[in-house]
Amino acid sequence: QVQLVESGGGLVQAGGSLRLSCAASGDTICISAMGWYRQAPGKERELVAAVTSGGNTDYADSVKGRFTISRDNAKNTLYLQMNSLKPEDTAVYYCNADWNLCIYGMDYWGKGTLVTVSS
């Protein structure tokens, strides 16, 4: 199994920056893709950014050019650098790990970290 712990959320003014971190532990060798999702009040959880173990990335259109996802495989840590933050970025951000390299597949989620962007 895999354990995911997010950190780095907080309150920031519009235009500011935050860096989220997700520390993975357990059978991390079985993780293929990892990603960041977010869920705002009353909204569906949506993909923000994802990265494979090989380094391929994917971003939601709303964050392209502002957010950067990265993965330090040696440290088993996922990052999300968020720049030029907007109030609409306010949400709980969740770390996700696609665990499918060890015979069977499973999705793991962190508990989330709250990002609040003020006007």
Write down the pLDDT at residue 53.
84
Closest by Cα among 80, 75, 47 to 62: 47
Write down the pLDDT at residue 30.
92
| Average pLDDT score, the chain | 96
62-118: pLDDT as tens digits: 999 999 999 998 999 999 999 999 999 999 999 999 998 898 899 999 999 999 999
Max CA-CA distance within the chain?
47
User: For the residues of 59-95, what is the DSSP string, one character each?
Assistant: E-TTTTTTEEEEEETTTTEEEEEE-S--GGG-EEEEE
Share of the chain above pLDDT 70, in %: 100
69 beta partners: 80
Write down the pLDDT at residue 81.
98
